[in-house]
A and B are shown apart, each in its own frame.
Chain A
Amino acid sequence: MRGQPTNKRLEKHHIENLIGRIYMSFCVLLLIVIIVSMVYFVASKGVANFVSGEVKVSEFLFGTKWSPEADTPSYGAFPFISGSFLVTLLAALIASPLSICAALFMTEIVPGWGKKLLQPVIELLSGIPSVVYGFVGLSVIVPFLRDTLPGQGIGVAAGALVLSVMILPTITSVAADALASLPQNLKESSFALGATRWQTISRVILPTTFPAIMTGVVLGMARAFGEALAVQMVIGNAPFVPHSLFESASTLTSVITLGMGNTTMGSPQNNALWSMALVLMLMTFVFVLLVRMLERRNEI
């Protein structure tokens, strides 16, 4: 046996390798099949209304009147599209400064205990399920807004506040990673020139890491744009374009959540909801594209 190349073992070795490869290819293929079918199914449902001529694309995107049950139904989704963008932008505006400060705190100001303190906080915040955020928003933020500011409490402001807490961990962890991976000598040379810490942060660190931090902001916005239940619970779900931050409004996700179960499959109203899902999906692609562009800029 010894001395001769053991054919049997060699074969076993090859078969083992082959099985492993086949299994892995199957797993990867499955991922691709999932995404292709996801895009196909949602898109085919989403364009049904436009293909059948029931609704025009321009009417859907820019029409401000949503009355699917009227005698002459109109399917203008502009209130929901604008609502989604409004709460997302507001949430990013509230969360970004907070997150960037938290990241600076962890990496530049007190890297030792600052990281030990904030790391678990960020992890816990990102672990809290979105319905719980919705529940807290409904039982704390909404009554607070109702008592202190005009309006009913439910509305754009409440939605943006709830979302901003939800996206804090996303932005913070990306920004902290970016700041931590900054070459040490950049900072050191700035300090050597006699710059204060804030001068170093504002003139050297933040400009250098700007694309990476923006990546975090875009990721956070993507999360906010797609978040459904927490927003649905606090935004009020009125199908109008809001005139103030304290009026109730709707987002694409909140309308889909509420409408999908109450409409019959295949009806124009149901298909309009699928068109909104398609808009959501396309926005996801836009966000991914943005992230990729920012990452490429970061590499150079």
Chain B
Amino acid sequence: MKPRTADKVATAVIVTLALLIVAILVSLLGYILIRGFNHISWDFLTSAPQKIRAGGGVGPQLFNSLFLLVLTLIITVPLGLGAGIFMAEYARPGKLTNFIRLVVEVLSSFPSIIVGLFGLLLIVNTFNLGFSLISGALALTFFNLPLMVRITEQAFRTVPKQQKEAGFALGLSKWKIVTSVLLPVALPTIITGTILSAGRVFGEAAALMFTAGMSSPRLDFSNWNPLSPSSPLNPFRPAETLAVHIWKVNSEGLAPDALQIAAGASAVLVLTVLIFNLAARYFGRFIYRKLTASKRMS
């Protein structure tokens, strides 16, 4: 084949395969959203699931997913920030830093099912917290923490060096520079990353099956006492999340409309992740404008 023809053929193949990926995504999203959309209604989003009869909803599951996400972020954000700042600003190249880097890398590549099993062993059985929201949140912490560390470290590394030097020139302490000079500049990136990682946590199921449990007690949404067992806010009650519910309905669902429920729940899940994605973009830009002087300059 002449080089020119080979070039044309190869270009055509590459373009076709790249567009094929776009087509896969479009058909995937289209399928999920169109199939699920018919099934989404206010009633579906708020009512409790039915075991054997048709017409169940995903209300408690949706609430559990969101609540678990909030709990996880409350635990992981401060811890991830601390370790990430250490890695970006304090760690000197050496054996220890290399080791910590390896730890973060291994932790983030552990399959989520291993994280779930570890949670089952340590939190559910050894610490005796049982299948509960708090167990789930802790398991998700192991899952989300390395991500947060990486996000924070990268965000801090992108801050221009002059900002730090200016701080030192003013005689500020290092910690002061970190918290009041570098953190505000890095914050938009951190927030964007956090929201994106929230999307991952929201869709996680394998780590939660063995920690947060696969059932939800009857919830009383007018009971806001966090210690009562039927209160939705009680962190020590078992909680099935939306993603776990989809898995359960698909593999052992008995309701006659199991497939429709799975379709509806999948659409809700994907829509939420899409909203997280958009929010990450919008919020990052908004905060950046708020915290830096870029608004006045333009």
1/0 per residue, CB under 8 A from B, across A22-35: the answer is 01111110111011
Q: Is B155 part of the contact surface with A, judged by Cβ < 8 Å?
A: no
Partner of B111, one of A25, A97, A128, A226: A226
- Chain B residues lying within 8 Å of A97, measured Cβ to Cβ, are 17
Closest to B174 in A: A17
B217 interface residue, CB < 8 Å from A?
A: no
Answer yes or no: B82 CB below 8 A from chain A CBs: yes
Known contacts: A105-B18, A117-B22, A140-B31. The answer to whether A227 contacts B90 by CB under 8 A is no
CB distance from A293 to the nearest CB of B (A): 13
B200-224 contact mask (Cβ, 8 Å, vs A): 1 or 0: 1011111001100010000000000
Binary interface encoding of chain A residues 118-145 relative to chain B, with 1 for a CB under 8 A from any of its CBs, else 0: 1001111101111110111011100000
Given the contacts A135-B262, A288-B105, A226 and B7 also touching, CB distance less than 8 Å: no
- Of B109, B112, B118, B277, the residue contacting A41 (CB under 8 A) is B118
Interface-centre pick from B3, B15, B29, B205 (highest chain A CB count, 10 A): B205
Of all chain A residues, which has the CB nearest B110? Answer: A284
* A222 at the binding interface (Cβ < 8 Å): yes
Give the residues in chain A near B210, CB-CB below 8 Å. Answer: 260-261
Per the 8 Å Cβ criterion, residues 278-300 of A in contact with B are 280-281, 284-285, 287-288, 291
Residues in chain B near residue A101, CB distance under 8 A: 13-14, 17-18
Do B107 and A34 touch across chains, with their CB atoms under 8 A apart?
yes
Find chain A residues with CB under 8 A from B35 CB.
139
How many angstroms from the CA of A35 to the CA of B142 in the assembled complex?
9
Q: CA separation between A130 and B276, bound complex, in Å?
A: 17
Is B274 part of the binding interface, using a Cβ–Cβ cutoff of 8 Å? yes
Segment 1-22 of B: residues with Cβ below 8 Å from A: 3-4, 6-7, 9-11, 13-15, 17-18, 20-22
Interface size on A, residues (CB 8 A): 85
Is A23 in contact with B106, judged by CB distance below 8 angstroms? Answer: no
Inter-subunit contact A20/B178 (CB<8 Å): yes
Report the Cα distance A256→B178, complex, angstroms.
44
CB of B31 within 8 A of CB of A102, answer no
Considering the chains assembled together, what is the distance between the CA atoms of A277 and B31 in angstroms?
34
Are A127 and B199 closer than 8 Å at their CB atoms?
A: yes
Task: Identify which of B11, B111, B200, B204 contacts A109 (C-beta below 8 A).
Answer: B11
Chain A: which residue is nearest B272 at the CB level?
A: A129
CB distance from A240 to the nearest CB of B (A): 20
- B89-137, CB < 8 A from A: 90, 99-100, 102-107, 109-115, 117-118, 120-122, 125
- A212 at the binding interface (Cβ < 8 Å): no
One of A50-58, A62-70, A195-203 contacting the partner: A195-203
Instruction: Say whether A238 faces chain B, with CB atoms less than 8 Å apart.
Output: no
> Within the complex, what minimum Cβ distance (angstroms) separates B100 from chain A?
6
Q: Is A86 an interface residue (CB 8 A)?
A: no
Q: How far is the CA of A124 from the CA of B30 in the complex (A)?
A: 13
Min distance, Cβ B94 to any Cβ of chain A, angstroms: 14
**Contacting pair B145 A31 (CB below 8 A):** yes
Instruction: Say yes or no for A158: interface residue by CB 8 A criterion.
Output: no
Among the listed B85, B86, B110, B199, which residue makes an inter-chain contact with A281, where contact means beta carbons less than 8 Å apart?
B110
Chain B residues within an 8 Å CB radius of A198: 3, 6-7, 9-11
Top 7 nearest A-B pairs by Cβ distance? A226-B111, A129-B203, A27-B82, A105-B18, A20-B175, A101-B17, A196-B7
**17 sampled A-B residue pairs with Cβ under 8 A:** A16-B175, A21-B175, A24-B82, A24-B90, A27-B79, A31-B146, A38-B115, A102-B18, A109-B18, A127-B273, A129-B203, A131-B243, A131-B266, A135-B263, A139-B259, A139-B263, A226-B110
Extra pairs beyond A34-B145, A124-B25, A132-B266 (16, CB < 8 Å) = A24-B82, A34-B107, A41-B118, A102-B21, A109-B14, A109-B18, A118-B22, A122-B21, A127-B274, A128-B273, A129-B204, A131-B243, A229-B206, A261-B210, A277-B113, A284-B111
